[in-house]
Every structure is written in C-alpha cells, then in structure tokens.
Structure 1
Amino acid sequence: MIDSQSVMADAVAGSDSRGFDGGKNINRCKQHVVVDTLGLLLGVMVTAADTGDRTAAHVLLGQVADTQHQLELVWSDGGYTGSLVAHCLTVLALVLAIVKGSDDMRGFVVLPKRWIVEGLFAHLMRPRRLARDFERRTASAEAMVYWSMPLLMTSRLARPHPV
C-alpha cells in the first residue's frame, strides 16, 4: 500500500521539507510511505506538503521496486490515479490498484486494505519525536521514520499469542 500523511513542521525544519498544505492551510511536510500487507515499512520519502502524491509516488515506487523485486501489486487511494497507473505497469512492472469507496460515503472512512497503512501512520505518531517534523533535512526525517519501525516490530513479537 502507498499513502501520504501531512505532519506539522517545526520552525527549525528545513525549507526543503516545508510547504503550504492547501487542505489544512498550514506549513507542513508530507511523509509518503509504502508498506507491505503486515504494515511493515518498505519505503519512505519526506517532501514539502505542496508536493503532489503522484509526483512523489513516481520516485518512491521506483526506489521500492528496485529493492523489493517480488513486489507485484500496490494498493492506493484515489489520489494516485492518472498517468501513474500506466507508469507503474509499463516502467516498474507493478499493478497499481486504486481502492475507492462508493459515491454515497461521507466523511473519513477507512476502506478495506487501506486500514493497514493508516495503522502505520497511527504508530508513527506514538513516538513524540515523530509527532512533529523537527529535522533540518529530509534525509534525517526519513531516518527517524525508519528508526521507529523496530519499536513496532518488537511490540508485535512480544505480544502474547493465544494458545
């Protein structure tokens, strides 16, 4: 799954990761993530909030496809439609499946398969360091997201399993 989330940018955040998010009317950065079906991170890219999802997905999906050779199918929301679907199929040999809700749905509804990436975003907000972007460089912000993943993996390993 691929998705993005806007995160508040602190005053010390670098200018390359700050942009005006028109939907939220505030300067923010945007975390674009690709996760597997277990919700484990495959790739992350931090950009300014005014960077479009499709633009970032071209780069991020290319990076993930280079490292994850068995990747064949990527689910996404309606923000990734358009020429990105054809680009994924022809250049990256990936099927980009758009998961959409019906037209009569109102408000924020998590669709099937999409809850996995939303769960990762919820996990990323648990460490106080990731609740806001304090990093001066986007590479540092991406490293902090990767740094939080062992916390998620060890908590899943330590979870008691029913007998």
Structure 2
Amino acid sequence: MLAASWQDRDGGKTALLGMYLASPVRHVFTDQGFAGRFVDWAPDTLTTVVIVRKPAEQRGFAVHPRRWVVERTLAWLTAHRRLARDYERHPEVSEAIIRWAAINGILRRITRGEPAHRQLRRTFTWT
C-alpha cells in the first residue's frame, strides 16, 4: 500500500520487492499507472508485470476481465464486517484479518456443495 501522494510507478519498486519477499506471487497485472521504467525493471529483477490497457476502440464503460477480478475480490473481502472500515492500528493486524476473510471465503465455497446464489432480502412488517 502506498500513500496517496505517491505516483504508482514511483512506489511500485518498494511494493513489488515487499510482495516478492512475502509471497510466492511471480506474475502481476497492473494498470497504466505503472507503465514506463517500472515495467522494464521488474522482469529483470523479480517477476513478470503485465499492463492491462483499455482497448483502443472502447467508448464508455466496459468491464476489463483482469481488473474485474481485483474489484470482485475486494468486494468479497469487505463483505466481512471487520474489513468494512479500517480501524486497526497495526498493519500486521489488518493483514491477519484480510487473510482470515480470504480463508473463510474459500472454505465457504469449498464446503457449500452447490453453486452460489444471492440471498433473499428480508422484509419486516410492523404489527
């Protein structure tokens, strides 16, 4: 995670080095904010970086498959109440809660035994 005042390409090296040391991820999809020297540096040093670009013929909004994976995953994680807001003081605690939420989601999918379905809205009537 980078401060909002940093450009993606400026903080990308630090973030990628930290990810490389902490996880087995070796193939990264990024947006156009990481384009430039960062893309040239990453394969020689650590991992493969692929820039997901908007198709030239696209007009208006369109779902990009790789970007949609990230958005969907973040939505699944924030479905856990503890992750809806970030009140933690230490990054290690936030990381542990994110891991717990991801493991919980995977376990629920594995043990469900049937395809996912949307829950029905509850309506309450006052008498």
Per the alignment, do residues 124 and 158 of structure 1 end up closer, same or farther by CA in structure 2, a change over 3 Å counting? Answer: same
Shift of 1:161: 4.7
Instruction: Select the structure that is richer in helix.
Output: 2
Question: Gaps spanning 5+ residues in structure 1: where?
Answer: 1-45
Task: Indicate yes or no: 2:22 matched with 1:75.
Answer: no
Q: Which residues of structure 2 form unaligned runs of 5+?
A: 116-127
Taking a change above 3 Å as real, the CA distance of residues 62 and 132 of structure 1, as seen in their structure-2 partners, is same
Q: Using CA pairs below 8 Å that are at least 6 residues apart, which structure has the higher relative contact order?
A: 1
Q: Tell me the CA shift for residue 124 of structure 1.
A: 1.6
Given candidates 97, 107, 111, the residue that maps to 1:158 is 111
Structure showing greater Rg: 2
Q: Give the TM-score normalised by the residue count of structure 2.
A: 0.71
* Aligned position for 1:106: 60
Q: 1:61 aligns with which of 1, 16, 23?
A: 16
Q: Tell me by how many angstroms 1:47 deviates.
A: 4.1
Q: What's the C-alpha RMSD, in Å, of the aligned pairs?
A: 2.4
1:58 to 1:112, Cα distance in 2 relative to 1, 3 A: same
Q: Where in structure 2 are the equivalents of 1:1-150 lying within 5 Å?
A: 46-66=1-21, 67-68=23-24, 71=26, 73-92=27-46, 94-103=47-56, 104-107=58-61, 109-150=62-103
- Give the count of matched residue pairs: 113
SS in 2 for 1:114: helix
Letter in 2 for 1:112: P
Q: Is the 8 A contact 1:47 1:138 kept in 2?
A: no
**Which secondary structure state, in structure 1, belongs to the residue aligned with residue 66 of structure 2?**
coil
